[in-house]
A and B are shown apart, each in its own frame.
Chain A
Amino acid sequence: MTDLLLENENARKLVKTLGLPIPVPEKLARSKGPYEERPLDEKTVLVCGVGGLQATLAQILTKAGAYPLVVGTSDAVLEPFVGPGEAWARPPRRVEPGQAPEGERVDAIVFDGTGLETPDDLHQLYVFMSPWIRRLNRSGRVVVIGRPAGDAKKPVRAAARAGLEGFTRSLAKEIGANGSTANSVFVQEGADERLDSVLRFLLSPRSAYISCQPFHVTKLAKGEEAPETHVLGGKVALVTGAARGIGEATAELLAFEGAHVVCLDRPADDAPCSKVAQRIGGSTLLIDITDIDAPERIAGELKDRFGGVDIVVHNAGVTRDKTLARMSPEQWDMAVDINLGAVIRITDRLLSDEVLRSGGRVICLSSVSGIAGNRGQTNYSAGKAGIVGFVGALAPKVAKKGITVNAIAPGFIETRLTDAMPVAIREVARRMAAVGQGGKPEDVGQAITFLATPGAVGLTGETLRVCGGALVGA
């Protein structure tokens, strides 16, 4: 079902003219086409904060095509931005802290909080950002960068660091109506250069439906050279449940970036699955993932036909909703096995047979309702929450081979499943997101594609929610 308030111009106008107390959601800017050399072309990015990331940020932002607007009391703050600015012809400008000059607007705000020492320093968040919130353009971006609280030796420093996350989550809810998002990034000491692709993604329209989320960038997994365009050239990707919905959108986006996508689905879905594979120049693999020999067959096919696999997207999933009291044993088993058991069996096999190559990427689908809990979904939630535990524990085990393992937890995404929901519940679910609307399968696909890129090597063991900043599920 389409979202009338989003898609229907007349409905939008009507609500606005009548002044109805219904917030009309902002149409989110989204990326079309493959990764660009300059994802932030012609954007103005406000850079502020109390850390030592200026030189890194200067390189990342100017190269990505953005004009830095630096907050500071003297031109000395521009210093790190001058060289990179000249290299890419993106000259920096300076603004005084605590005020936004008349007529000046920004497309994104990046706060460098890596230098926070005490909770008093959190005051800088207020000083630097408060004047600019109303000057943030539609589909704007706020990214707050800090160091992981867990790495802090002093509790007081940990407190300051952790404060960034709460601040960002709340800010996300305040700017969501504008189609804007806010996320925090906690980067380990020594992993600063891994910020590059993370910021290129988070500041671009590719992260349209990701808000309120913390990202943890680490040195854990071994990295390789990260291209900026055609980011998956030469890679082989397996996508399960590729016949439709999120799987289809993901397969398409992976193919855009140059990956050869092996589209896997149940034999019964032969027609739609082959169609997707054909359209994107990929291959079809028809296997029921719950079959006892499925892991062996998948590993064998990938090894024989493609010499291995670089990216595995465990997207296939089912719901068998019933309250626990009424649930049949079959319903329980099926939901837990497809959503969790099969994922683990297949991943283990691909690893033990060394079919998953070094530098590989494993991306599992979790779910916001799985994390938050949902009436009638004890089985589903057990499976989807199990995924969170699985990726967290597997990540460090495969890190030295350069393999990362992450989960994606979609929130309310407009698909066949959500179309079947009762109108009232659906409507509430949409508006519960900070951005006031449901996401699209491509939003999840973009997040998966990003995690699949060599540049995302800093992220592993994470569960990334693609939920538009939904109220539930934290």
Chain B
Amino acid sequence: MAKKKNGWGKKQRAVIVAGVRTPFVKAFGKFLKLDTIDLSDIAVKSLLERTDLSHDEIDSIVWGGVIFPSLAPNIAREIALDLKLPASVEGMTCTRACASGLQAVTLAAAAIERGEADVVIAGGSDSTSNAPLNLPQKVVHALAPLAFGKAATPGDYLGVLAQMMPITDILPKMPKIAERTTGEVMGESAERMAKRNEISREDQDEFAARSHHRAAEAIASGRFDDEVTPVESPEGWVYADNIVRGDTSVEKLAKLRPVFAKDGTVTAGNASPLTDGAAAVLLMSEEKARALGYKPLAAFKSWSYVGVDPSDQLLIGPALAMPKALDRAGMELKDVSLVDMHEAFAAQVLSVTKALASKGFAEVRLGKSKPVGEIDDAIFNVHGGSLSIGHPFGATGARMVTTMANELSRTGAETALLGICAAGGLGAAAVLEAV
């Protein structure tokens, strides 16, 4: 095994060399038998194959996720072990809710720029299909003495049974995407945002239809071939994202019933679906990439993470994070060539774009005299987004980085602005530049 040079403290630029993801598949479907680690293994294995990277060059893996396998939560390390990478490839796993994938990638970039590493694989994954059902704490407390204690007598078992009444107390809790502090389901938050920002059902459906049309076009044109790897599941081969509906229309979407409020506007059609999938990104120091003969796709100009009050507008974070990332990059919205925003809900995306275009928002919330700006439809989520492609929580950030890095490289565009909202009132953003 090649000995690594000690580059600690060396200033170097981190570049994105390549990215690969699994198809994104509707939860409880074709990836049912593949858990989050299996999906991650597949994405990273394909990334290594496609880039022909010598395993000895890899310093570490950084992985993001939201729902972790309770017996092996450090997915990054499990990937390295599953793929029989050198034992020296260390791994860490992080979470920042739906921004976890971007978090993993920026952690990798930061490590490289600090000279801590030269070659890092970063990404994220989630398998909602394999979310653990949690037993109520009452059951755990009753059973633990039997499980971890000394051999039990029949009397002990009776005692445990006695603690389990009434039966409704011991049924597993159904997992739901609800805020721990407010108890509000995320769809309800989106519903409130739609109302408060006056986002109409029509606008939401129109945005959702557009997302599907653009994603379908990208798939049909082969645009995603470079970044999506076919997966063999026990149910057969899966070649492409299976949530995208190229034939949907505003009229079809308009027929769906609101899910979170009787007179609401948020439907299954304009909300991102539960999804299984994984995405991996290869980052290197620029020097290393060139030395190994790779052509870097893009680099980070800046990134930012923010928090807002989750009981106010849970998913408005990007409206604060994106201007902050632009400021750090020394840029204005009008200067960026592409904008890619995570589409948790059409209502959330449109609330954020409305805030960015608002003078009042800029003055009061950002301390700026001019609005951040309107986003030109032609450069905005050019290949669709989470509404159509799907949203495996931890994978989405890495998917966006990959798609935008490829887009910069392919089109000659200069910069891309990313924005992601996340549970807990978090917002994330990054500015990528072509290399």
Are A and B associated in one complex?
Answer: yes
Residues of B within 8 Å of A37, CB to CB, are 309, 312
Rounded to whole Å, the gap between the CB of B402 and the closest CB of chain A is 32
Task: Establish whether residues A87 and B309, one from each chain, have CB atoms under 8 Å apart when the complex forms.
Answer: no
Rounded to whole Å, the gap between the CB of A68 and the closest CB of chain B is 13
Residues of A within 8 Å of B358, CB to CB, are 83, 86-87
Tell me which of B198, B316, B363 contacts A83 (CB under 8 A): B363
Q: Is B360 engaged at the interface, CB distance under 8 Å to the other chain? A: yes
Tell me which of A38, A85, A88, A89 contacts B193 (CB under 8 A): A89
Residues of A within 8 Å of B309, CB to CB, are 37-38
Q: Is A84 engaged at the interface, CB distance under 8 Å to the other chain? A: yes
The answer to whether A86 and B360 touch (CB under 8 A), given A37-B309, A38-B312, is: yes
Q: Is A392 engaged at the interface, CB distance under 8 Å to the other chain? A: no
Task: Establish whether residues B351 and A87, one from each chain, have CB atoms under 8 Å apart when the complex forms.
Answer: no
Q: Is B303 engaged at the interface, CB distance under 8 Å to the other chain? A: no
Task: Establish whether residues A89 and B197, one from each chain, have CB atoms under 8 Å apart when the complex forms.
Answer: yes
- The secondary-structure label for the interface of chain A is helix
The answer to whether A84 and B360 touch (CB under 8 A), given A89-B193, A89-B351, A91-B196, is: yes
Q: Which of A229-247 contact B (CB under 8 A)?
A: none
Q: Which of B268-309 contact A (CB under 8 A)?
A: 309
Q: Is A432 engaged at the interface, CB distance under 8 Å to the other chain? A: no
Q: Is B354 engaged at the interface, CB distance under 8 Å to the other chain? A: yes
Residues of B within 8 Å of A59, CB to CB, are 364
Interface centre among A41, A65, A88, A89 (most CB of B within 10 A): A89
Minimal Cβ-Cβ distance residue in B for A83: B360
Minimal Cβ-Cβ distance residue in B for A88: B364
Residues of A within 8 Å of B355, CB to CB, are 86-87, 89
Minimal Cβ-Cβ distance residue in B for A81: B360
Rounded to whole Å, the gap between the CB of A168 and the closest CB of chain B is 31
Residues of B within 8 Å of A86, CB to CB, are 354-355, 358-361
Task: Establish whether residues A87 and B363, one from each chain, have CB atoms under 8 Å apart when the complex forms.
Answer: yes
Task: Establish whether residues B360 and A82, one from each chain, have CB atoms under 8 Å apart when the complex forms.
Answer: yes
Residues of A within 8 Å of B361, CB to CB, are 83, 86-87
Task: Establish whether residues A84 and B196, one from each chain, have CB atoms under 8 Å apart when the complex forms.
Answer: no
**What 0/1 readout, one digit per residue, does chain B (345-380) give for beta carbons within 8 Å of chain A?**
000000100110011110111000000000000000
Rounded to whole Å, the gap between the CB of B309 and the closest CB of chain A is 6
Q: Is B313 engaged at the interface, CB distance under 8 Å to the other chain? A: yes
Residues of B within 8 Å of A63, CB to CB, are 364
Q: A88–B351 Cα gap in the complex (Å)?
A: 11
Tell me which of B196, B359, B363 contacts A89 (CB under 8 A): B196
**What 0/1 readout, one digit per residue, does chain B (195-215) give for beta carbons within 8 Å of chain A?**
011100000000000000000
Q: A90–B197 Cα gap in the complex (Å)?
A: 7
Tell me which of A38, A41, A65, A87 contacts B360 (CB under 8 A): A87
Q: Which of B241-256 contact A (CB under 8 A)?
A: none
**What 0/1 readout, one digit per residue, does chain A (25-58) give for beta carbons within 8 Å of chain B?**
0000000000001100100000000000000000
Residues of B within 8 Å of A89, CB to CB, are 193, 196-197, 313, 316, 351, 355
Q: A426–B278 Cα gap in the complex (Å)?
A: 72
Minimal Cβ-Cβ distance residue in A for B196: A89
Residues of B within 8 Å of A90, CB to CB, are 196
Rounded to whole Å, the gap between the CB of B228 and the closest CB of chain A is 37
Q: A79–B29 Cα gap in the complex (Å)?
A: 51
The 9 closest A-B pairs by CB, nearest first: A83-B360, A87-B364, A86-B358, A89-B196, A86-B360, A87-B361, A87-B360, A86-B361, A89-B197
22 A-B interface contacts by CB (under 8 A): A37-B312, A38-B309, A41-B311, A63-B364, A65-B312, A82-B360, A83-B358, A83-B359, A83-B360, A85-B360, A86-B358, A86-B359, A86-B360, A87-B358, A87-B363, A89-B193, A89-B197, A89-B316, A89-B351, A90-B196, A91-B197, A91-B198
Q: Which residues of A contact B (CB under 8 A)?
A: 37-38, 41, 59, 63, 65, 82-91
Q: Which residues of B contact A (CB under 8 A)?
A: 193, 196-198, 309, 311-313, 316, 351, 354-355, 358-361, 363-365
